[in-house]
Structure 1
Amino acid sequence: MTKNHHLLAAYREASLQTDLLVLATIIETFGSTYQKAGAKMLIAPDGELTGLLGGGCFELDLIEHARSVFETGNAKTVFYDMRSPADAIWGLGLGCNGAVRIFLQLLTAEGGFSPLNHIAAVDEAEGSGILVTVIESSHPDFPIARNLFLPDSTDRQAESFPAACDVKPASQQKTRLEALRIGDHLVKVFYDPLQPPSQLLVLGAGADAIPLVKCAKALGWRVTVADCRPGYVSKVRFPQADATLHLLPQTLENLPEWNRFSAAVLMTHNFDHDRRFLAALAGTCIPFIGLLGPAPRRERLLESLENAAEPLNGRVFGPVGLDIGAETPEEIALSIMAGIHAELKGRSGGQLSLRAAPLAA
């Protein structure tokens, strides 16, 4: 869901300010592109944009295409091919060596600004599922731009759209276009898996936790901050945090649904507190556990747990973060979030220019 977090505030504001929006969604890419399939951008009637699909390369042209969608109400698909050195097909001369196919659809207040309402509902419920959008269709019951949401929490009978019902959960899906035959009609749909928002648990509410929370929130993460000092965990101190908890290390197991966290960072600056928190985290499925301090401190912590440290194998990262020469608290926060993101995405975190192979499509 982090890829859609920028749309949520715009969706909530739109319900108060306008009756119409155009949603632009990348449904297919070829070669090197700024964004990949599933990326979304909102276009307001006055041309104001929320989000970015092409790094500014073709957004102005998209605004022009959106005007016709506002005027007619009809969805449309546009294709930008930047693979030619001169971009001879549509003449912008960008030379990006990639191509994107973008679907533009009208969203109305009367229709709940669907599919933004589905995206917001998944975010609020911390759920998951598949958003299905009809891209091409000759079927009268499944017109172009119809949106359906198939939540993972149901058996997906989806009697209204049985041919599109893929029973695999969203976590096993990838964005894709697929042609379906429903009766005598051909229907082309775009599958877009919606995942719950990534969540970060920050154990320790010192001054260095403040920029970490801000950095994580800027990336669309949900953030919970916990500390054994009640005066440190307050909404005044952490206004952007989704939750602040007064929590002792020995009561960490009482934290509700703690396996929902994608990452935890221990920054209590207290060896015994870190040891106790780390012992409790060993019993969770949290895939990334970051520790402040040098590698010898990490080893001392793990050795102090003896056999209880075995479940932590491969999940503890200390010193946490990528080596970017960070010195200030803000730079350290950037390093930590970059390290978490790289690990969860299965990337090394090196310079893109040093990659031996071109980026995958």
Structure 2
Amino acid sequence: MKEIKSIIKAYEGIKPGTDAALATVVRVEGSSYRRTGARMLVLDDGSWTGGISGGCLEGDALKRARLAINNSRATLITYDTTEDDPHQIGVGLGCNGIIDVLFTPLDRQNKNNPVEILKLCVETSREVHILLTITHLEGEFAEVRTGNVIKYIGPESLAVFNSKEIEKKIFDKVRVQMCESKSAPAQFKSDSCQIEIFIEILPPEINVILMGHQYDVYPISRLLKELGWRVSICGDILKINPLIRSFTDEIVSNSEFPNLTIDEHTAIVLMAHDYKSDKGNLSRALLTSAPIIGMLGPKVRSEKIWKEIAEEGNALSQTDMDRIYAPVGLDIGAINPEEIALSLAAGIKAAFSKRDGRFLKLRATPIHPRI
């Protein structure tokens, strides 16, 4: 989401008379530095925002984007780093992957161009958005063309294809990707047409609520904002340095906790460094829908809190315990507040990604699923 926001900001700052195109990774086969959904805004003056690789494809992407602008037509380009072909862009990188990139010229007068649709997703409430990017068409389609992005809100969004057979196939595939919470390219055929689409599941940014006001909220807030996450601090406002506001989305008092944005993409971190406060905040956090509740401090301290809550007649269920991460963070040997912030952020990301956070060298399967 951070990259998308940067692209939107750059797009809004385009000077009159300057043309632009959006490059989007719509399919990856094998290994690549960036995955599907990576984007790059390219201006006709050669400047760009975002990225589609680790830097190896951007040079050629500038040329391709300019061609798309000049031709006023979206173009799908395949970069194949699996072949030992000296004429292939990216050869010799060792990535051993195939990457499809869609280059779409942007009509700034069209409020349904890809970036305008991304703006709509960012500006609306915290929900999972589903975007259908058309990467290839064969047949007669009056209302859509290659490069169009459709914001899917239900079966009615598919009426633009004017084919009940195709609409049903797309609908079924979208449901599968929604259930898996994964983006994927897809191909659909009928007797009269063929269409290829990139189905993108676009969740809101990770939302972190830090419940505490001690000095260690500062390095954590700075790191989380650098990641592009949403950050809120809940604590004693009188003890929070106002300068931290530049690294947060909101700062509220303990009494305003119920008014905070909390959803299935939210992590709550208890870090008041006060036993009584953390104990009370745990009970409050468990009443929310947050799937991740982190507790700073040694495990024996957390276990004592759990025991006292049980003795008070409110024993934590297994469902509650599955949401609690105590101590929060990954075991990286963190000592100072900055290192602890790194451990905490990595642990939250691992939890949301359903990973265990171990060394990648120990992973027996590819880092990302391959098609």
Q: Is the partner of 1:100 in helix, strand or coil?
A: strand
Which position in structure 1 is the counterpart of 2:349? 341
Question: Cα–Cα, structure 1 residues 278 and 266, in superposed 2: closer, same or farther, change >3 Å?
Answer: same
Which position in structure 1 is the counterpart of 2:303? 299
**Is 1:34 paired with 2:33?**
yes
Which position in structure 1 is the counterpart of 2:69? 70
Deviations 1:310-349 (A, max 9, x none): 2421121122111222222222111100011111111121
How many Å apart are 1:11 and its aligned residue?
1.4
Q: Is the partner of 1:336 in helix, strand or coil?
A: helix
Which position in structure 2 is the counterpart of 1:144? 146
CA contact (8 A) 1:81 1:89 kept: no
Q: Root-mean-square deviation (CA), in Å?
A: 2.4
Which position in structure 1 is the counterpart of 2:119? 120
How many Å apart are 1:240 and its aligned residue?
2.3
* Paired letter, 2:246: P
Q: Is the partner of 2:106 in helix, strand or coil?
A: strand
Q: 2:254 aligns with which of 247, 250, 256?
A: 247
TM-score by length of 2: 0.86
Tell me how far apart the structure 2 counterparts of residues 171 and 20 of structure 1 sit (CA, whole Å): 38
CA contact (8 A) 2:331 2:343 kept: yes
> Which structure carries more helix by proportion?
2
Q: How many residues align?
A: 351
Tell me how far apart the structure 2 counterparts of residues 331 and 308 of structure 1 sit (CA, whole Å): 33
Tell me how far apart the structure 2 counterparts of residues 155 and 302 of structure 1 sit (CA, whole Å): 47
CA contact (8 A) 2:151 2:157 kept: no
Alignment of 1:191-270 (within 5 A): 191-227=199-235, 229-233=236-240, 236-248=243-255, 252=257, 254-270=258-274
Question: Cα–Cα, structure 1 residues 173 and 291, in superposed 2: closer, same or farther, change >3 Å?
Answer: closer
| Larger displacement relative to structure 2 (25-34 or 161-170) | 161-170
Deviations 1:186-220 (A, max 9, x none): 22222111222221111012211111112111222
Which position in structure 2 is the counterpart of 1:6? 3
Deviations 1:103-141 (A, max 9, x none): 111112112472222222222222223111111113342
How many Å apart are 1:221 and its aligned residue?
1.2
- Provide structure 1 residue ranges, at least 5 long, that are not aligned to the other structure: none
Question: Cα–Cα, structure 1 residues 33 and 55, in superposed 2: closer, same or farther, change >3 Å?
Answer: same
Question: Cα–Cα, structure 1 residues 257 and 223, in superposed 2: closer, same or farther, change >3 Å?
Answer: closer
Tell me how far apart the structure 2 counterparts of residues 294 and 272 of structure 1 sit (CA, whole Å): 15
Which position in structure 2 is the counterpart of 1:318? 326
Percent identity over paired residues: 28
TM-score by length of 1: 0.89
- Provide structure 2 residue ranges, at least 5 long, that are not aligned to the other structure: none
Question: Cα–Cα, structure 1 residues 173 and 342, in superposed 2: closer, same or farther, change >3 Å?
Answer: closer
Tell me how far apart the structure 2 counterparts of residues 88 and 72 of structure 1 sit (CA, whole Å): 27
How many Å apart are 1:102 and its aligned residue?
1.0
Tell me how far apart the structure 2 counterparts of residues 171 and 202 of structure 1 sit (CA, whole Å): 30
* Paired letter, 1:139: E
Tell me how far apart the structure 2 counterparts of residues 63 and 101 of structure 1 sit (CA, whole Å): 15
* Paired letter, 1:90: Q
Q: Is the partner of 1:224 in helix, strand or coil?
A: strand
Which position in structure 2 is the counterpart of 1:103? 102
Tell me how far apart the structure 1 counterparts of residues 42 and 111 of structure 2 sit (CA, whole Å): 16
How many Å apart are 1:159 and its aligned residue?
3.0
How many Å apart are 1:158 and its aligned residue?
4.2
How many Å apart are 1:223 and its aligned residue?
1.3
Which position in structure 2 is the counterpart of 1:90? 88
Q: 1:309 aligns with which of 298, 312, 316?
A: 316
How many Å apart are 1:33 and its aligned residue?
1.0
CA contact (8 A) 1:123 1:197 kept: no
Q: Is the partner of 1:327 in helix, strand or coil?
A: coil
Question: Cα–Cα, structure 1 residues 113 and 17, in superposed 2: closer, same or farther, change >3 Å?
Answer: farther
Tell me how far apart the structure 1 counterparts of residues 6 and 216 of structure 2 sit (CA, whole Å): 27
CA contact (8 A) 2:7 2:40 kept: no
* Paired letter, 1:65: R
CA contact (8 A) 2:6 2:50 kept: no
